[in-house]
Structure 1
Amino acid sequence: MMEQTDILIIGAGPTGLTLANLLGQNGIRTILVEARTKLIDYPRAVGIDDESLRAMQSIGLVEEVLEHTVPDQQIRVVNGVGKVIAEINPTTREFGWPRRNGFVQPLVDQILLDGARRFDCVDVRLGVEAMDLVQDNDGVTVTVRSQHQDASIRAAYVVGCEGGRSFTRQKLGIPFTGRTRQQRGLVIDVANDPLGTPHAVFGGDPTRGYATLSLPHGIRRWEFMLLEGESDELANSDEFLHQLLKDHVADPASLDVIRRRVYAHHARIAERFRVGRVLLAGDAAHVMPVVAGQGWNSCIRDALNLGWKLPAVVRGVASDRLLDTYAEERRDHVKAMVELSVGMAKVVTNRSKVTSAVRDAAAAVIDHLPKLKSYVSGQGFKPMPKYTRGVVVPSRWPESKSVPIEDGIQPSAGTLFPQPRVQTVDNGDVLLDDATGTGWRIFVWNNDPVNFLSAQVRAQLDSLDATLVQLVPSAQLRWAADNASSGVRAIGDRSGALKSWFHARPVSAVVVRPDHVIAAECLVQDLDRKVREVFASAYLLPAAAGAALAAQ
C-alpha cells in the first residue's frame, strides 16, 4: 500500500528542517527523508544573521538557537602585515536581532530537527534515501530505500533540499550553472579556543589568505586557502596543520582539533527552482562561497518563502500558480548573494601583491570618509531582499501635498517590515512579531483598519487568519485597545521606531506577508483596493471557494 502525504521533503539540512517546522506549525502532513542516519557534523556555516534569527523566532525556537551564538560578532579585515584595513560591525536591530552572529551549525540543526518532531503531522525519517521520482498532474511518487527495502511515498508536492549534489535536481535534469574556483580552502575547528578573543579576523594575505572566528562553547575556527599543488590529503597531515598555524598560536601541536575538511568555492544557481509539483530549495538550488556567511541564511530564506505558500496551496486557499512566485522572488536575491560572496572571496583569497596594494590604498581612503566607512562597518553592502515580482504590489506614491517624501526614501513594497520592540496591553516590552503573530498582517498607523475595509475583503482576511493591527504611540495604547473594532489588535510604539518609519514615507498602511515581506503599502484610504491587489498577486481564491476546496 502506497503511503500518502501532502508534502515530501528530501534532505534534512537547514532548509528541509526549517521548512518542516513551518509546515508543522500550519498542520500540513509532511514527511522528511534523509539518506544519512544522523545530521552532518563536519565544518560548515558559522554565521547566522538577523533575518534567520527572525525566522527562528517565527517557529518558536529562537531562545534555544541563541544559546549557540556569538551576538554582534565583529570582523576585522587585515592585510599581509596584519594592519586592519576594514572593520565590519553592524549594530542595527532593525529586524529585532543582531545582524551578525557566529554560531555552531550542527547544534542549531539539531534544534531544528527536535523542533520538527514537536508536530504530530511531521514525520522525520533518517537513513531513508530517495531513489526515484515520477510526477503526474495530481502528485509525485517517490521511491525511497531504507535498510535495503524499497517503498513508495505519494505526495502532492516534493521539495528537494538535499544539497549541492541534489538527487532531485539531477533527476529533473535542471542545469546547475556557474563555476567552481580552482582555489580551495581548508577548515580547521579546535576545541578549547587557544586565543579566546570574541570576534573574527579575515586575513587578506597575498601569500595565503586566512580567516579565524571565535565560535560558542570554546570553539575556534581557522580557514586557510590551499595553494596550487597542495593536495586535499594534506588536511589529514598534522605536520601541515601545525605549519599553517605556527604564526597564529604559540604551540600548534597542543591544539585540540575536532574537525578538519577541504572545501571548494562553488558559485552555482539552478536554472529553474520548480518543475511541475517538484521544487528545489537551499543548496540544491544554489551554492556560494562561504566568505560572506550567507549560504545557510539563504537556505532559511528559501524555507520561509515556501513555508507559507505551500500550506496556502495545499489547503486550497491559493491557486497552484502561487508556487511560481517562489522562484520569481528568490532567484534574483540569491544571485545577488552569490555575487557578493564571490567578490568577498576574491578579496580574501587574492594572491597578487599589486592588487593587494590597490586594495589597501582603497581601504585607507575609505577610512577617511566617515559615511563610506560607516556603510562598510554597518554591512550596508549586503543585498537585502527586495522583491519586484511575485506577491508584491509595486508602490505608487500618492500625489498629496499633505504627505511629503523624505529625501533618499525608496518604496518599501517587496522589502522586510521592521521588527522593533513594542508594547501591548499585557506586556510592556515585546518584539513586534510576538505581539502580532507571524501570519498575514495589516498594519495601520493611528487608524482602526476595519473602518477602511469592505465586508468582502474582511471575509477573505478572516479565511487567511490575518491579524489586523492598529499602531499607536504607547501613550494612546489603553484608549485604542478599549475602542478598537472586534478582532483588531492595538499595539503601542514604545520606542517611536514605527512612527519614524511611517513618518519617512507617504504611507500609513502596509500589508505584510507571513515571511515578513511588505506585499503592499498605501495611504489608509486606499487600503481596501491594495489588499485586493495583493490577493490577486498571490493567486488567492475567493474565501468560499477556498473553504470548499479545503474541505474536500
Structure 2
Amino acid sequence: MTVTCDVLVVGAGPVGLTLANLLGQQGVNVLVVEREHELIDYPRAVGIDDEALRTMQTAGLVDQVLPHTIPDQKIYMVNGDRTILSEVNPTTREFGWPRRNGFVQPLVDRVLLGGLDRFPNATARFGAEVTDLAEDAGGVVATLAGGETLRARYVVAAEGGASPTRKRLGISFEGETRPTDGLVIDVANDPIGTPHAVFGGDPARSYASIALPHGIRRWEFTLFEHETEADAGNRDFVLGLLAPHVPDPSRLDIIRSRVYRHHARVAGRFRHGRIFLAGDAAHVMPVVGGQGWNSGIRDAFNLGWKLAAVVKGLSDDGLLDTYETERLGHVRQMVAVSLGMAKEMTDHDPVKAAERDRIAANRTPEEREAQKRQAFKPQPKFDEGVLVHTPLPVSKSLPARDVPRLAGTIFPQPTATDADGVTMLLDDATGQGWRVLTWNNDPTAFLSAPRRAALDRLGARLVQVVPKAQLPWAGKRAAAGVVVVGDLGGESGLQAWFDARPVGAVVVRPDHVIAAECLAQELDDVVARLLEVAQVL
C-alpha cells in the first residue's frame, strides 16, 4: 500500500525531528521514518548554541529543552601541565540566548520527538528502514525493508554520516578521517562537580572533561593507533584512563562508553532532484568545535521554511536550490575550524605541542579576549540566495560611514515588549515567519497594495518598532494588521541597531536571516525584488 505525504524525512535524529516539527507547524504533511526501533541513546553531541536555541524557540519547544542545558558553559583549553592556553566564555545574548550551553542530547531528542504530538500532520515511524528511493516527475517513491512503499513530494535524508541515501545517489563525501579514534565515557554522579568543560591538549594523551546537566560528567580520550575497540571495552583500561582525573576511579558510576571516529567531510551536493541531504548525511566534523549538532539544526531551519513554501504553493520549486547555495559555504567554514581545533588539541607531537603553548603564552590581551568571546567561530553569512543587496544610501541626512551590509546574516533578538508593554524576546513579540520591521514608522505607509497582498499570502508580519515610551500612543493608532513592538533601548536594543546603520527598514526571513535592508522610502521596491528572488508565485 502506498502512503502519501508531502515530505518524507529519513532518520529520527535531531535534524530530522527538528525539520519535522518546523514543517508540522506550517501544516505540511510530514512523515519521519527511522530504521531503529527507538531513539539513539549513546553518547553524541554535548553543546547547543544560541542559534539552535532560537530554532527551538521558533519550534515552540525551547521551554522543554532548557531544563537539559547548562547555560554559559565555560571551556578551558589546557596543555599537559594543565596551564590554561585559552578560555572560551562568550556572554553575548545577541540572538536572545547564551552562545554556549552544555546539554544532554538524548533528552533533547526526546523533546523533539514529543513535539510532533502537537501536529496531526506530523508522524514518526520506528523500525522502518528505507531500502530504495525512486524519483519521478511528481515525487519520490520510497521502498521499505518489508516491501511497503511510501510516496512523497520531497525526501530529506538525515540518517547520519554513513547515509545510505547519499551513497545510493552516488554523491561524493570529500574530506578526511583522523588516523586515531576517540573513546567517550559518560559517568553519573559527577565526581568532579564543577560546571565548566576542560579540553586537554596533553601530548601524552589528549582528553576532554565536560560537565553535563543532571549530574553527568563526560570524558573523551584519544586512542592511539595500536589501541583497539576491544581495549576500550576493557574496564581496567577505561579505569586507567580515568585514574589521573578522579581520586578513586573504581567508585565511578559509568553509564556507557563508546568508540567513535573523527571525520571532516562535506557532501558534493546537498540536493539531487527531489531528494535533499541534511545534517551528518551532508557534512561531518570533529567534535572539538561542538558544531556538528548545531550545523545540522541550521540545515533544518534553512530547508524547513523553503520546503513549506513550495509544498503550500507559495513559491516555485527553484527556491529549494538556495538551500545548498546558502548552507554550503558556512558548513565548509565550520568543518575547517573544527578540524583545525582537533589537530591543535589532539596532536601528540611534543615539539608541535610546545610550539602551540608558546604561541598561546604570547597572545596579546586583545587576542585572548577574542578567544574568550569565541570570535573563531564563523557566523552564518552568505552573499547569494534569498536576499537582496542594496547599496549604501546617499543622503545628507545620514553621516558618511563605511558600514558592512547585513543581508545574509542573522537578525538580532533583543528583549522588547509587545503592544501592551509586556517584556519578552523579540521573536515572541513580533511572531514568527516573514517580518518587515520599520523603525518608528507605519510600514503600510511605504508598501503598495500589490506588495501588501503578496506579503499577506506569505503570512508576513508588518512590525512597527517604537521606543517603549511611545507605546501608549502608537499602540492605539497602529494600522490594521501592524504589530507594534516596544524597544527597551540600551546597547543591545533595536534603536541602537538602527542607529548604527543607514537603514530604516529591514525584511527578516522565517529563519531570522536578514533578507534585505533599506531606507523606509525604498521599502516597496526592495520588497518587490525580494519576492522575485524568493520565487513567490
2:294 to 285, 297, 306: 297
Counterpart code for 1:241: V
Counterpart code for 1:331: L
1:449 to 443, 450, 470: 443
1:525 to 502, 511, 521: 521
Counterpart code for 2:345: V
By how many angstroms is 1:228 displaced?
A: 2.1
Which residue of the partner structure matches residue 287 of structure 1?
284
Which residue of the partner structure matches residue 382 of structure 1?
377
Is 2:480 the partner of 1:483?
no
For 2:8 and 2:425, the matched residues in 1 are separated by 33
For 2:174 and 2:182, the matched residues in 1 are separated by 21
1:424 to 418, 423, 438: 418
For 2:368 and 2:495, the matched residues in 1 are separated by 28
1:433 to 406, 427, 430: 427
Q: Secondary structure at the match of 1:540?
A: coil
For 1:527 and 1:370, the matched residues in 2 are separated by 43
For 2:185 and 2:489, the matched residues in 1 are separated by 43
Q: Is the 8 A contact 1:117 1:124 kept in 2?
A: no
Q: Secondary structure at the match of 1:492?
A: strand
Which residue of the partner structure matches residue 510 of structure 1?
506
Counterpart code for 1:515: D
Which residue of the partner structure matches residue 339 of structure 2?
342
Which residue of the partner structure matches residue 400 of structure 1?
395
**Which shows bigger deviation, 441-450 or 370-379?**
370-379
Which residue of the partner structure matches residue 60 of structure 1?
60
By how many angstroms is 1:370 displaced?
A: 2.7
Q: Is the 8 A contact 2:419 2:483 kept in 1?
A: no
Which residue of the partner structure matches residue 229 of structure 2?
232
Which residue of the partner structure matches residue 38 of structure 1?
38
Which residue of the partner structure matches residue 367 of structure 2?
372
For 1:284 and 1:405, the matched residues in 2 are separated by 46
By how many angstroms is 1:357 displaced?
A: 1.7
The equivalences for 1:154-303 within 5 A come to 154-303=151-300
2:531 to 508, 529, 535: 535
What do residues 165-184 of structure 1 show as CA deviations (whole Å, max 9, x unaligned)?
Answer: 11211111111111111021
Counterpart code for 2:485: I
For 1:507 and 1:346, the matched residues in 2 are separated by 43
By how many angstroms is 1:425 displaced?
A: 2.6
Q: Secondary structure at the match of 1:299?
A: helix
For 2:228 and 2:389, the matched residues in 1 are separated by 52
For 2:11 and 2:523, the matched residues in 1 are separated by 41
Is 2:408 the partner of 1:411?
no
Is 2:87 the partner of 1:87?
yes
By how many angstroms is 1:117 displaced?
A: 2.3
What is the TM-score with the length of structure 2 in the denominator? 0.98
Q: Is the 8 A contact 1:77 1:87 kept in 2?
A: yes
Q: Secondary structure at the match of 1:133?
A: strand
Counterpart code for 2:40: I
Q: Is the 8 A contact 1:265 1:290 kept in 2?
A: yes
By how many angstroms is 1:405 displaced?
A: 5.3
Q: Is the 8 A contact 1:267 1:338 kept in 2?
A: yes
Q: Is the 8 A contact 1:76 1:87 kept in 2?
A: yes
Q: Secondary structure at the match of 1:291?
A: helix
What do residues 185-218 of structure 1 show as CA deviations (whole Å, max 9, x unaligned)?
Answer: 1111000000000100010111111110000000
By how many angstroms is 1:426 displaced?
A: 2.6
What do residues 501-526 of structure 1 show as CA deviations (whole Å, max 9, x unaligned)?
Answer: 11111111110000000000111110
Counterpart code for 1:376: Q
How many residues matched? Answer: 535
Q: Is the 8 A contact 2:421 2:471 kept in 1?
A: no
Counterpart code for 2:384: R
For 1:132 and 1:85, the matched residues in 2 are separated by 50
What do residues 430-485 of structure 1 show as CA deviations (whole Å, max 9, x unaligned)?
Answer: 00001111100001111111000010000000001100001111111121111121
The equivalences for 1:82-121 within 5 A come to 82-121=82-121
What do residues 292-318 of structure 1 show as CA deviations (whole Å, max 9, x unaligned)?
Answer: 100000010000011100010011110
Q: Is the 8 A contact 1:405 1:506 kept in 2?
A: no
For 1:227 and 1:96, the matched residues in 2 are separated by 41
Q: Secondary structure at the match of 1:117?
A: helix
Which residue of the partner structure matches residue 11 of structure 1?
11
Counterpart code for 1:490: V
Q: Is the 8 A contact 2:82 2:200 kept in 1?
A: yes
What do residues 388-437 of structure 1 show as CA deviations (whole Å, max 9, x unaligned)?
Answer: 11101124211223222556x42111000000000123343100001111
Is 2:489 the partner of 1:495?
yes
For 2:114 and 2:442, the matched residues in 1 are separated by 40
Which residue of the partner structure matches residue 467 of structure 2?
473
For 1:517 and 1:468, the matched residues in 2 are separated by 16
By how many angstroms is 1:273 displaced?
A: 0.5
Q: Secondary structure at the match of 1:478?
A: helix
For 1:9 and 1:313, the matched residues in 2 are separated by 16
Counterpart code for 1:371: E
Counterpart code for 1:493: D
For 1:382 and 1:209, the matched residues in 2 are separated by 22
For 2:400 and 2:229, the matched residues in 1 are separated by 57
Structure 1: unaligned runs, 5 residues or longer: 542-552
For 2:356 and 2:396, the matched residues in 1 are separated by 47
For 1:178 and 1:140, the matched residues in 2 are separated by 29
Give the alignment's Cα RMSD to 1 decimal.
1.0
For 1:388 and 1:3, the matched residues in 2 are separated by 39
Which residue of the partner structure matches residue 546 of structure 1?
none
Q: Secondary structure at the match of 2:108?
A: helix
Q: Secondary structure at the match of 1:150?
A: coil
Q: Aligned pair in 2 of structure 1 residues 182, 452: CA closer, same or farther (>3 Å)?
A: same
Q: Is the 8 A contact 1:405 1:505 kept in 2?
A: no
Q: Percent identity?
A: 59
Q: Secondary structure at the match of 2:462?
A: strand
For 1:510 and 1:311, the matched residues in 2 are separated by 23
Q: Secondary structure at the match of 2:362?
A: helix
